[in-house]
Amino acid sequence: MSTLKNQAIALLEELGIEKWMKNIQVMGDEVILDIVSHSPAMHERKRLEQALKAAFAEQLPQVNLKLNISAEAPKPQDPNQIRGNDIPGVKNIIAISSGKGGVGKSTVSANLAISLQKMGFKVGLLDADIYGPSMPTMFDVEGAQPHSVQVDGKSKMKPIESYGVKLLSIGFFAGTDQAVVWRGPMASKALQQMIRDAHWGELDFLLVDLPPGTGDIHLSIVQQIPITGAVIVSTPQHIALADARKGVSMFKMDAINVPVLGIIENMAYFTPAELPENKYYIFGQNGAKELSEKLDVPFLGEIPLVQSIREAADVGRPAALQENSAVSAVYEKITQNIVVSLVERNDTLPPTEAVRITNMAGCAAVKK
């Protein structure tokens, strides 16, 4: 091992972060370090970068340091102890829910998936909104159809990939103009096939875009897979907040017991392009933030009512892909808050169990 490499490793040991080193390469006076941050939060990664550069500049000034800092996906406390039907290769499953329709839940889901992918995570997105699938449009893959692949001698669906995100949606199997008129059991069976008959591969996150409300699909999801945590999307409007409260209550039921990672306030305010300093609270102000405080769940952030978000969804290129824009920064910050909340959840709570629903009418359930 070269002297410079030894010196670099010794410095990392002195800083107490040698365990985070993934790889080190030395080429002449250049040291290339691959570091896995202990926290996925962007400010913590920046702090780590600054600390490393300062330490190398002081103790090894002759070194030309190049850093590649990534964040490792949070893992459940003990994956081997997860009871229920986990999905092989998937580390964390996040349900994105809303109490009512029209609050922009699917648009938020699409942009959270993109933001996670931009952070370096492997991401999948399951469009579980059986009656109103929108992900094929939002990811510009309308008309695409998943192909079959052989996995361990079994035929599996291969998700469609767009912008680095793996996607499955009932929209891939139904025509654009075709209404999905199914009773609850049929919808639940279709959802089960997209979960169980798919080859998702290795994923840090699988986001599940749920339909609005609290019904059969929600119960089917918690029956079939151990949800790591849920995110609730609402507008500040009183009517939307009343339904968002019900969504939080559903996940917090003893029978279901899925941790709520937080609430996102969508369409929080409108700022005209010609009046960039003005904010117009069309649907009310701070409603979701105040609700999160009342319910003692994290407030993950607010998303303004911006025309480009709608336009981006319509053309199949989520707004979070807009580099160095105010919109992408908003989604990035909220995504960081979700991951931080997830890290705390995985550090303090046991793995979520899939549940067995014993009384669908009364929504009673017992854990396996």
CATH of the domain at 338: 3.40.50.300
Please tell me the least confidently modeled range out of 75-84, 178-187, 248-257.
Answer: 75-84
- Greater model confidence, 359 or 161: 161
- Number of independent structural domains in the chain: 2
User: Is the same domain home to 284 and 234?
Assistant: yes
User: Is the same domain home to 119 and 221?
Assistant: yes
CATH number at residue 37: 3.30.300.130
Determine the average pLDDT of the residues in 340-354: 73
| 130 contacts 174 by C-beta, under 8 angstroms | no
User: Is the same domain home to 97 and 24?
Assistant: no
Average pLDDT for the chain: 80
Strands (E), the chain: 21-27, 30-37, 64-71, 90-97, 123-127, 147-151, 154-158, 160-162, 165-169, 203-209, 229-234, 260-266, 299-303, 355-359, 364-367
Q: What is the pLDDT of residue 39?
A: 58
Using the 3D structure, point to which of 55, 71, 87 is the last residue of a domain: 71
User: Is the same domain home to 204 and 303?
Assistant: yes
* Beta-bridge partners for 364: 359
Using the 3D structure, point to which of 29, 50, 71 is the last residue of a domain: 71
Determine the average pLDDT of the residues in 355-363: 38
368 exposed, middle or buried (CB, 10 Å; 0-12, 13-18, 19+)? exposed
* Beta-bridge partners for 32: 25, 66
| 308 contacts 346 by C-beta, under 8 angstroms | no
Residue 197 pLDDT grade (very low, low, confident, very high; cuts 50, 70, 90): confident
| 233 contacts 111 by C-beta, under 8 angstroms | no
Residue 58 pLDDT grade (very low, low, confident, very high; cuts 50, 70, 90): confident
Residue 25 pLDDT grade (very low, low, confident, very high; cuts 50, 70, 90): confident
Residue 366: pLDDT over 90? no
User: Is the same domain home to 345 and 222?
Assistant: yes
Residue 141 pLDDT grade (very low, low, confident, very high; cuts 50, 70, 90): very high
CA distances from 23 to 20, 153, 240 (A): 9, 36, 49
Point out the annotated binding site. 99-106
Rounded Cα gap, residues 176 and 343, in angstroms = 39
User: Is the same domain home to 52 and 110?
Assistant: no
Residue 129 pLDDT grade (very low, low, confident, very high; cuts 50, 70, 90): confident
Determine the average pLDDT of the residues in 37-64: 76
Residue 44 pLDDT grade (very low, low, confident, very high; cuts 50, 70, 90): low
Q: What is the pLDDT of residue 111?
A: 95
Domain span at residue 40? 3-71
Q: What is the pLDDT of residue 363?
A: 38
Using the 3D structure, point to which of 71, 99, 122 is the last residue of a domain: 71
Rounded Cα gap, residues 268 and 306, in angstroms = 10
Question: Residue 49 is which amino acid?
Answer: E
* Beta-bridge partners for 160: 167
Residue 41: pLDDT over 90? no
User: Is the same domain home to 16 and 135?
Assistant: no
User: Is the same domain home to 169 and 297?
Assistant: yes
Q: What is the pLDDT of residue 286?
A: 85
Residue-by-residue DSSP string for 228-258: -EEEEEE-SSHHHHHHHHHHHHHHHSTTT--
* Prediction pTM value: 0.73
User: Is the same domain home to 48 and 140?
Assistant: no
User: Is the same domain home to 353 and 335?
Assistant: yes
pLDDT tens per residue across span 258-315 = 889 999 999 999 988 788 788 899 988 888 889 888 888 999 999 999 888 999 999 9
CA distances from 6 to 55, 108, 227 (A): 15, 47, 44
Q: What is the pLDDT of residue 362?
A: 36
Residue 162: pLDDT over 90? yes
User: Is the same domain home to 188 and 48?
Assistant: no
User: Is the same domain home to 89 and 44?
Assistant: no
Rounded Cα gap, residues 119 and 299, in angstroms = 21
Residue 2 pLDDT grade (very low, low, confident, very high; cuts 50, 70, 90): low
Point out the annotated binding site for ATP. 99-106
